[in-house]
Structure 1
Amino acid sequence: MASGEPNTKKMREDQTISEGMLLGMGNPLLDVAAVVTKEFLDKYELLPDNAILADAKHKDIFEDMHQFTEVEFTPGGATQNTLRTAQWMTGSPEFATLFFGCIAKDRHGDIMTKAMKEGSVKTVYQINGSNSEPTGTCAVCITGNNRSLVANLASANCFTKAHLDDKANWAHVERAKLVYTAEAEAFSEAQGFGTKDVKEIALKAASLPKHNSKRSRTVVITQGAEPTIIVEGGKLTEYAIIPIEKEKIVDTNGAGDAFVGGYLSQLMLERSTEQCVRAANYVANLIIQRHGCTFTEKCVYE
């Protein structure tokens, strides 16, 4: 272990991780991944390295993926990826993370529910009763080093407030110490900030009014290969990522979700911002060297 780096094993001993302390809400998707042929891409009019939302011509693609050998199923969607990462990083035997979303009662829903449980993330899925909307899926069509992604949100779009209003479900929200959702696109435009400068956006977001005036807002903005920008206590700091050779990069999908998961895992342990970023960089660096948002059996981060 490098000098000055946090000993996560010691943290796990010192800090109490409680069940459901990190709660997430978002669109649950099951990634259905397989090595496919050029003919398969042509059939569905897909490009070798692209990401699109499914339309009418893709309605059979998710079942069609099952024809290939070694089809891999991985729970996906930004928030689920983040919670799976945080749970893995804490190494807690408890279901320290809990996820709200909507799925259907079908084969893909059953596969995702089982996989989330195996990853020790508690799910409180709303079950969509509509037969017309299946569990949300993302076809991951692999050809060589390229991945063509086709997402069908389907039941993921059917989550309702009524599910949260249920007394037993709302109890999970009240028990949580941290709540996370990844649905924050075009935040600057929605807030009328009038700028595309990332640093200016971060500072403006941090200064927005908040209910708890005793604690300043912390804003974290990732920029891929560029430094992460964090505004805390009104001060902006840049944190460099971990450099990596291009040849070692396998798949960048899910890296941002993993970064957030690593950050939140240390926030759950009440660590400093610097330690949160260090863990976030570690797991993001790990994920881009693997296919999809997948992990080793145990986290060895120290």
Structure 2
Amino acid sequence: MSGVSPQLVCLGNPLLDYQATVSPEYLKKYGLKADDAILVDAKSGDPKMAIFEEMLGFDDVKFVAGGAAQNTARGAAYVLGRNQVGYFGSVGEDKYSERLLQENNAAGVVSLYQFQKEIGTGKCAAMINGHYRSMVTDLGAANHFTPDHLDRHWDVVEKAKLFYVGGFHLTVSPEAILKLSKHAQETGKPFVLNLSAPFIPQFFKGPLEQVLPYTTYVIGNESEAASYAESFGLPADQRDLVSIAKHIVGDSKDRTVVFTQGLDPTVVYSAQGAKSYPVRPLESSKIVDTNGAGDAFAGGFMAALTQGKPLETAIDMGQWLAALSIQEVGPSYPKSKLEYQA
């Protein structure tokens, strides 16, 4: 990676997102509901694997470099510009990863992929039917990231100013996350973890507990917060967002928890106390697709931190970028560059 030193390094599970409009009959053909979200495995011989090939031929098919942390990386790059954001993840050597590389390159993200020879790139098919989207995901190569790939690019890690990890990666390589987070703590660099989904605190409590002590910022939404409270056995009278955030912060003097809750105010808690920030208003007629809004918030938030902006600005920039993203189809950003206005 000679000459390219991204300031922000992200780690996650890269997926090529396909989006296309389908008929109710198409969903019925594969036994899918209008708002399904299911995982398929190429090895299982599941007939739904055919969807990925079929959708390539659909007239309105659109491709996005997906996976939550990769959405965030593209969002941060939208603000920061070319080569300022690097992204680690695992992909296959196939036409799908070629498409991902193109998408990241167009967005200005430096792709630091680990390539798998035997396993295909992860894919997520989003089949849109009216206001519903039915999602079928094959994690594929994303599941096979290994910490030694970080070693091969350790110069990039050392030159980075801060790190962002999607919680989904706790299901893949907690060792890689710990490697990054320990480096961050030893060098005084911010380390940001997104809880990503309610099932992470629920089913991956162990890996989450290992990583939390190294975090500078933890980002989540209200449903992930509720799942954390349940998993960590918080008493009923300590299940409001501030109490849950307080539990995550623990006795740390420099950890901050940020909980978004859709159109309701964003709640922030640190050793300095609790604050809430109202969301930027947006006319409902302008909302096209809320998929990826949380990833976009994280993108704006990380961009502001990378620029050395104060926390209040980072929250506002996150809300600004989320508002831009939900006016696009899928986890995307406007084609033309818009400048942040406080």
TM normalised by structure 2 equals 0.75
Per-residue displacement from partner, 1:146-189 (whole Å, max 9, x unpaired)? 221111111100101121222xx111111111111121331636
1:141 equivalent in alignment to 2:179? no
Q: Find the aligned partners of 2:230 and 2:129 in 1 and give their Cα distance.
A: 38
* Cα offset, 1:193, TM superposition: 5.5
Distance of aligned partners of 1:260 and 1:145 in 2 relative to their CA distance in 1, 3 Å threshold: same
**Which structure's relative contact order is higher, taking Cα pairs within 8 Å and 6+ residues apart?**
1
1:72 equivalent in alignment to 2:62? yes
Distance of aligned partners of 1:208 and 1:165 in 2 relative to their CA distance in 1, 3 Å threshold: farther
Matches within 5 A, 1:180-259: 180-183=164-167, 184=195, 185-186=200-201, 188=228, 192=232, 194-195=234-235, 196-209=239-252, 216-259=254-297
Runs of 4 or more consecutive aligned structure 1 residues displaced over 4 Å after TM superposition: none
Unaligned runs of 5+ in 2: 168-194, 202-207, 209-227
* Cα offset, 1:41, TM superposition: 0.8
**3-state SS of paired residue (2:56):** helix
The one-letter code sitting in structure 1 at the alignment partner of 2:101 is: T
Q: Is 2:86–2:111's contact at 8 Å kept on the other side of the alignment? A: yes
Q: Find the aligned partners of 1:270 and 1:103 in 2 and give their Cα distance.
A: 32
Matches within 5 A, 1:1-302: 19-54=5-40, 56-90=46-80, 92-93=81-82, 95-130=83-118, 133-166=119-152, 169-183=153-167, 184=195, 185-186=200-201, 188=228, 192=232, 194-195=234-235, 196-209=239-252, 216-296=254-334, 297-302=336-341
Over aligned residues, Cα RMSD in angstroms?
1.9
Q: Is 1:251–1:289's contact at 8 Å kept on the other side of the alignment? A: yes
Q: Is 2:124–2:138's contact at 8 Å kept on the other side of the alignment? A: yes
Q: Find the aligned partners of 2:23 and 2:156 in 1 and give their Cα distance.
A: 45
Q: Is 1:287–1:293's contact at 8 Å kept on the other side of the alignment? A: yes
Number of paired residues?
274
Identity %: 37
* Cα offset, 1:208, TM superposition: 4.6
TM normalised by structure 1 equals 0.85
